[in-house]
Amino acid sequence: MKKTVVLLLTILFACSTENWDSLRTKTETAFNNKNYSEAVEYLDKAAKQEPQNAEVQYYLGQAYRLMLFADGSRLNDLSLPYAIKSSEHFRKCIEISPKYTGKKFVVDPYSKIQSIWGSMAMTYLYRNQPDSAKWAFNRGQVEGGFYPAILEYNRNIMASCEKNAILFTNGDNDTYPMWYLQFMENYRRDITVVNVSLFNVSWYIKQLKNDYPFGENNLFMMLTDADIDSLGPIHWKEKEMEIPVKNDPLNKSGKIQWVMKPTYEDKAIRVQDTMMVQVLTSNNWNRPVYFSTTVYGPNKIGLDDYLALEGLVYKLNTHKGKIDTEKLYNNLINIYTYEGVNDKHIEDIDDIASLYQNYRDAFITLASEYDKAGKKEKVKEVLDFMDEKLPESALPYTNDELLNKSDSLYERNL
């Protein structure tokens, strides 16, 4: 009888215990409803059931990260305890599974750690606490972010730029590492790094205008702080835009012209779009302007015809042109370094392995240009250099189209 009761109790307990699948559904619902503390309760249950489940730890890291900040509006005023908790769980996720394969909220756990501590560094610099900012960046590297391959990739992006450049970036993996490089290594502090997503936030715009914290150059703009505070989405219909150009023999019209389309629900433009036009107009070609190749298409506000590929960046020119072959060659062959391909993180992190394919894309684009011009020796030189620096054994192709293009170019130019 006693054994029967124990067995029944065991069965009842097993039936009443929720598994990770049901708790994950509840967690995601809580995320969607912005009930992050509720999500933590579900996740703590799951972690007790499955302490070695990397996905549970990733979700816990995400829950605390959302409590730390859900968007860029609060990046200047973050709470350290939430940063510590979030980073702790992402780090545990990595310890359990260095090559994390569970569900991701946009980026991998290594990138999440970068965003946490890069954002804390921003908070400290906003409060004029540079020593604390340095501590935050160091903490982020110890926890698993700011690893060699991602730093090299960002160093190469910045190396592409002329002196005193304005460089538009896109997200976690092409912004936080640049902040690290400028602040911790004093690398290319002449560049003003402008994250297009944060360009929607008034405090960030004013910071770029008045006191860029990672380098030496503020952004000149013809707006007062009060003007910036009043910015918001603008109802918009497709419209032709223009900026005057001086002394360019390749542009007889004396201006660049492009069509700017709505970027928000097909009926408005965002603050970031307004600000990009404002910066380009205010700059008046006094400083070179670049976009990281990672910047999402619509975030370039229709300027594509004037953006020339030079490697890991597009440069905004005063005339049309898709590729600057000379600059592309110089950056790929003479300027960039490729030691990051030997970093063990390449094997563990799909995001950085994918970013490194951008090198291949640039090499193959360059080789294709030489192929069109009938320069067989240059095609072979470029492809041989690519294979030497980015061997398939260390960096397998993740894009069949690129592999096929490379094979086809080799066959035609042997």
Backbone angles phi and psi of 320, in degrees to 5: -75, 150
Estimate to the nearest angstrom the gap between the alpha carbon of 293 and the chain centroid. Answer: 10
CA-CA distance, 413 to 54, in Å (whole number)?
48
- pLDDT at position 191 is 98
Per-residue pLDDT of the chain (414 residues; tens, 9 = 90+): 555 544 444 444 444 468 998 899 999 999 999 999 999 999 999 999 999 999 999 999 999 999 999 888 889 999 999 999 999 999 999 999 999 999 999 999 999 999 999 999 999 999 999 999 999 999 999 999 999 999 999 999 999 999 999 999 998 999 999 999 999 999 999 999 999 999 999 999 999 999 999 999 999 999 999 999 999 999 999 999 999 998 899 999 999 999 999 999 889 999 999 999 999 999 999 999 999 999 999 999 999 999 999 999 999 999 999 999 999 999 999 999 999 999 999 999 999 999 999 999 999 999 999 999 999 999 999 999 999 999 999 999 988 888 898 989 888 887
Neighbouring residues of 246: CB distance < 8 A, sequence distance ≥ 6: 254, 285
Neighbouring residues of 266: CB distance < 8 A, sequence distance ≥ 6: none
CA-CA distance, 379 to 191, in Å (whole number)?
33
CA-CA distance, 17 to 19, in Å (whole number)?
6
Long-range contact pairs involving 22-27 (C-beta distance under 8 Å, separation at least 24): 24/55, 24/59, 27/59, 27/63
Do the bridges between strand 166-169 and strand 289-292 make them parallel or antiparallel, or are there none, so unpaired?
A: parallel
Q: Which residue from 32, 188, 108 is spatially nearest to 350, judged by alpha carbons?
A: 108
The CATH architecture annotation of domain 21-143 reads: Alpha Horseshoe (1.25)
8 Å CB contact between 157 and 292: yes
DSSP 379: H
Element (H, E) at 241: strand 239-244
- pLDDT at position 10 is 44
Estimate to the nearest angstrom the gap between the alpha carbon of 195 and the chain centroid. Answer: 9
Q: What pTM was computed for the model? A: 0.93
Q: Which residue from 349, 390, 386, 339 is spatially nearest to 148, judged by alpha carbons?
A: 339
Which amino acid does the sequence have at 407? D
In which region does residue 284 sit, left (phi positive, over 0), alpha (psi from -120 to 50) or beta (all else)? left
Alpha helices by DSSP H, listed for 176-242, are 176-184, 202-210, 225-229
CA-CA distance, 412 to 12, in Å (whole number)?
70
DSSP 374: T
Q: What DSSP line would sit under 67-129, residue for residue?
A: HH-SSGGGTTS--HHHHHHHHHHHHHHHHH-SS--S--BSB-HHHHHHHHHHHHHHHHHHTT-
Residues carrying CATH 1.25.40.10, the chain? 21-143
